[in-house]
Copies of this chain bind each other. A is one copy, B any other.
Amino acid sequence: MSTKLSPSERNSIAQKLPDWSLSENTDAISKRYSFKTFPEAFAFMTHIALHAEAMDHHPDWSNCYNKVDIKLTTHDAGGLTQKDMTLAQICDDAAEQYAR
Protein backbone atom coordinates (compact mmCIF):
# COMPACT_ATOMS: atom_id res chain seq x y z
CA MET A 1 0.00 0.00 0.00
CA SER A 2 1.42 3.39 -0.94
CA THR A 3 1.27 6.40 1.35
CA LYS A 4 -0.52 9.53 0.20
CA LEU A 5 1.57 12.65 -0.30
CA SER A 6 2.13 14.81 2.77
CA PRO A 7 0.86 18.41 2.70
CA SER A 8 4.36 19.71 1.95
CA GLU A 9 4.83 17.17 -0.83
CA ARG A 10 1.49 18.24 -2.31
CA ASN A 11 2.56 21.87 -2.17
CA SER A 12 5.65 21.01 -4.20
CA ILE A 13 3.64 19.69 -7.16
CA ALA A 14 3.19 23.14 -8.71
CA GLN A 15 6.93 23.69 -8.57
CA LYS A 16 8.10 20.23 -9.61
CA LEU A 17 5.44 19.53 -12.22
CA PRO A 18 4.33 23.00 -13.36
CA ASP A 19 2.38 21.84 -16.41
CA TRP A 20 0.27 19.29 -14.56
CA SER A 21 -3.17 20.18 -13.21
CA LEU A 22 -4.73 18.98 -10.00
CA SER A 23 -8.09 17.41 -10.80
CA GLU A 24 -11.14 19.01 -9.28
CA ASN A 25 -13.16 15.97 -8.35
CA THR A 26 -10.57 13.33 -7.59
CA ASP A 27 -7.15 13.44 -5.95
CA ALA A 28 -5.26 13.16 -9.20
CA ILE A 29 -3.03 15.13 -11.56
CA SER A 30 -3.51 15.39 -15.30
CA LYS A 31 -1.80 16.72 -18.37
CA ARG A 32 -2.32 16.84 -22.14
CA TYR A 33 0.61 16.15 -24.43
CA SER A 34 0.55 17.11 -28.11
CA PHE A 35 2.81 15.54 -30.70
CA LYS A 36 3.18 16.07 -34.41
CA THR A 37 1.44 12.89 -35.55
CA PHE A 38 -0.04 9.64 -34.27
CA PRO A 39 3.22 7.64 -34.52
CA GLU A 40 4.98 10.06 -32.16
CA ALA A 41 2.03 10.01 -29.76
CA PHE A 42 1.91 6.23 -29.73
CA ALA A 43 5.69 5.88 -29.41
CA PHE A 44 5.41 8.09 -26.33
CA MET A 45 2.61 5.91 -24.99
CA THR A 46 4.64 2.76 -25.57
CA HIS A 47 7.55 4.26 -23.66
CA ILE A 48 5.25 5.12 -20.76
CA ALA A 49 3.57 1.71 -20.88
CA LEU A 50 6.90 -0.07 -20.34
CA HIS A 51 7.75 2.11 -17.35
CA ALA A 52 4.23 1.83 -15.95
CA GLU A 53 4.31 -1.94 -16.06
CA ALA A 54 7.78 -2.04 -14.48
CA MET A 55 6.53 0.25 -11.68
CA ASP A 56 3.24 -1.62 -11.42
CA HIS A 57 1.65 1.82 -11.59
CA HIS A 58 -0.51 2.55 -14.59
CA PRO A 59 -1.96 5.74 -16.02
CA ASP A 60 -5.56 6.44 -16.90
CA TRP A 61 -5.07 7.84 -20.36
CA SER A 62 -6.68 8.57 -23.67
CA ASN A 63 -5.43 9.27 -27.15
CA CYS A 64 -6.92 11.01 -30.14
CA TYR A 65 -4.49 11.15 -33.08
CA ASN A 66 -1.62 13.37 -31.88
CA LYS A 67 -3.03 14.14 -28.42
CA VAL A 68 -2.43 12.08 -25.27
CA ASP A 69 -4.30 12.95 -22.07
CA ILE A 70 -2.86 11.40 -18.94
CA LYS A 71 -4.38 11.25 -15.48
CA LEU A 72 -2.42 9.88 -12.56
CA THR A 73 -3.62 8.77 -9.17
CA THR A 74 -2.87 5.82 -6.90
CA HIS A 75 -6.08 3.85 -6.65
CA ASP A 76 -5.04 1.66 -3.72
CA ALA A 77 -4.03 4.71 -1.69
CA GLY A 78 -7.13 6.70 -2.61
CA GLY A 79 -5.14 9.62 -3.95
CA LEU A 80 -1.79 11.01 -5.01
CA THR A 81 1.40 9.29 -3.90
CA GLN A 82 5.09 9.51 -4.77
CA LYS A 83 4.45 6.95 -7.52
CA ASP A 84 2.37 9.54 -9.35
CA MET A 85 5.08 12.15 -9.03
CA THR A 86 7.64 9.68 -10.39
CA LEU A 87 5.49 8.60 -13.32
CA ALA A 88 4.62 12.23 -14.13
CA GLN A 89 8.31 13.05 -14.37
CA ILE A 90 8.88 10.02 -16.59
CA CYS A 91 6.08 11.27 -18.85
CA ASP A 92 7.58 14.75 -19.08
CA ASP A 93 11.04 13.39 -19.84
CA ALA A 94 9.69 10.99 -22.47
CA ALA A 95 7.58 13.67 -24.15
CA GLU A 96 10.73 15.60 -24.98
CA GLN A 97 12.13 12.56 -26.80
CA TYR A 98 9.07 12.03 -28.94
CA ALA A 99 8.24 15.64 -29.72
CA ARG A 100 9.90 16.92 -32.91
Residues of A whose CB lies within 8 Å of any CB of B are 38-39, 42, 45-46, 49, 52-53, 58-65
Closest to A48 in B: B42
- A65 touching B61, Cβ below 8 Å: no
Per assembly, the copies of the chain total 2
- B60 touching A64, Cβ below 8 Å: yes
User: What is the distance, in angstroms, from A70's C-beta to the closest C-beta of chain B?
Assistant: 10
- B64 touching A52, Cβ below 8 Å: no
Residues of B within 8 A of A53 (CB): 38-39, 42
- B65 touching A62, Cβ below 8 Å: no
User: What 4 pairs between A and B have smallest CB-CB spacing?
Assistant: A62-B62, A60-B64, A42-B49, A58-B65
Closest to A67 in B: B60
CA distance A38 to B63 in the complex (A): 16
Residues of B within 8 A of A63 (CB): 59-62
